[in-house]
Chain A
Amino acid sequence: MLLIHCPWCGDRAELEFRHCGEAHLVRPADPAALDDTQWAAYLAFRDNPRGWARERWRHVHGCGRFFNALRHTLTDRFAATYKPGEAWPEPPI
């Protein structure tokens, strides 16, 4: 089980959290202006990297708030968690 640092509550067990997919996906401002391919790209197509991934988590059984994280998908190690709206940190070398 992962130990996850909520930016508001501190270190908590993974059981308190819900993974919410890739981070920094911006919903198109005018969906009606998109064609089907662009809309599909927003809805379904993902980076799915092997390495550092930026992802969204939610502290569902805690403060209930969303935050972003930088996690390595081969080691599952978190490099950082940060609040929504903050700039993403650069991955460690």
Chain B
Amino acid sequence: MNGFGAFRLLREALRGQTGWEPQWRSPERPQPTYDVVIIGGGGHGLATAYYLAKQHRVGRIAVLEKGWIGGGNTGRNTTIIRSNYLFPESAALYDHAVQLWEGLSQELNYNVMFSPRGVLMLAHNVHDEQSFRRHVHANRLAGVDNEWLDAEGCRAFCPPLDIHQQRYPVVGGALQRRGGVARHDAVAWGYARAAAALGVDIVQNCEVIGITRGADGAVTALSTSKGEIRTGKIGVVAAGSTSLVMAMAGVRMPLESFPLQALVSEPVKPVFPCVVMSNTVHAYISQSDKGELVIGAGTDQYPSYSQAGGVQILSHTLEAICELFPMFRRMRMLRSWGGIVDTTSDRSPIIGLTPVPGLFVNCGWGTGGFKATPGSGHVFAATIARGEPHPIAAPFSLDRFATGRLIDEAAAAAVAH
């Protein structure tokens, strides 16, 4: 077993760190048959596999990943965690995730560096203030912590913030103290390690190229770049590529995939104590434990799978950051990147059953899926195992687009994408 106890650390220090082994099994080829196959080895897919193995007796489980685990949006986001969503359905889902985040390092026996340092959402005008106060009230009724701070309160909580600048004066903010950040790679690695220890096969560099359905319409097999796999249950957790995977089973999805960009600065000493988001001027920023400022920009206006976005999107966000935090004006940016996010028309995810028996889908997390990783995996695992939606996942069904029971978080997201 690959523990990280003090004795092991000391021994490896004396042996030149030569005794470490891979933290999870990653078989070169998949087995010919599995009971459940998860398509997509990001945080959500690995979490799904982990909870399936841990809490549900479903037999043999595989996670198929086209590239390497955590190499998609899990490794490309700004790692912000919060649950102050407006509608009760969303608050229940995201707060379920926050509750799991709080014990995740112990659960996985792997340090995911969850840091509940507080998420402050700034209000710059009367409309913002009214909207955020409504959020605060709605969250409190739903049992989710969220509080209103006046401008001085915001500055006290986040001293680098310039509340008196001319362009975007700060009138107050909504603060969720339980919100924060976590180490995104460690989340993927921690779930992979814990799932592999429970017998899950994590197959990397294995692209799904076809889904076979039987005479009754139910899924029977998968073809992959590493051979055929027979299975009766498939969970698609493919983020931006979900439309493409679902098309293999003949299912059209209410999704469009957009590039979403983020960037980090050169690392500096600790200067930024919390997470700050501003919906109106579109900026969000935090500082990683490594010292880099992690800054999230917006989506491009057109769907694309390019994993790159327009420079004007980045400069728009950086201009706003420099107005709000004048001390960062001479900071140099180190690198930027894009991830492909699958968005629904109501900006809420889709978790649940599909018209195809045996085919389940967990997608549509859009620009804010990282925060939900443990909750998403937990409810999706229960949905796959039982063949019916978990109560928290039930409102997020695919058929809500036909019934009209949309969960319209579009205007309620922290930033308007």
Tell whether A and B belong to one assembly: yes
Shortest Cβ gap from A32 to chain B (Å): 15
CB of B19 within 8 Å of the partner chain: no
CB contact under 8 A between A36 and B304, given known A14-B310, A43-B345, A48-B243: no
Are B303 and A73 in contact, with the CB atoms below 8 A?
A: yes
Residues of chain A at interface, number, CB under 8 A? 27
State how many angstroms separate the Cβ of B52 from the closest Cβ of chain A.
28
Cβ contact within 8 Å between A1 and B401: no
- Which residues of A34-63 have CB atoms within 8 Å of chain B's CB atoms? 36-37, 39-41, 43-50, 53, 55
Task: Name the A residues within 8 Å of B254 (CB-CB).
Answer: 40, 44-46
A window 1-21: CB within 8 A of B: 1-2, 14-15, 18-19, 21
Measured between C-beta atoms, what is the minimum distance from A21 to chain B in Å? 8
- Decide: A71 and B302 in contact? CB cutoff 8 A: yes
Chain A residue contacts of B312, Cβ below 8 A = 1, 14-15
- Cβ of B394 under 8 Å from chain A: no
Docked pose: A53 CA to B256 CA in angstroms: 12
In which size bucket is the chain B interface? 20 to 34
Within 8 A of B (CB), among A49-93: 49-50, 53, 55, 71, 73-76
Q: A1-B311, A73-B306, A74-B306 in contact; A48/B257 too (CB < 8 A)?
A: yes
Contact A76 B306 (CB under 8 A): yes
Q: Does A40 contact B402, Cβ atoms closer than 8 Å?
A: yes
Cross-interface CB contact of B305 among A39, A40, A73, cutoff 8 Å:
A73
Knowing A1-B310, A19-B302, say if A50 contacts B345 (CB, 8 Å): no
Give the residues from 368 to 417 in chain B that come closer than 8 angstroms, CB to CB, to chain A.
401-404
Residues of B within 8 A of A (CB): 241, 243-244, 252-257, 301-306, 310-312, 342, 344-345, 401-404
17 chain-A/chain-B pairs, Cβ below 8 angstroms:
A14-B301, A19-B301, A19-B303, A36-B402, A37-B402, A43-B401, A44-B344, A44-B401, A45-B252, A45-B401, A46-B253, A48-B244, A50-B241, A71-B302, A73-B303, A73-B305, A74-B304
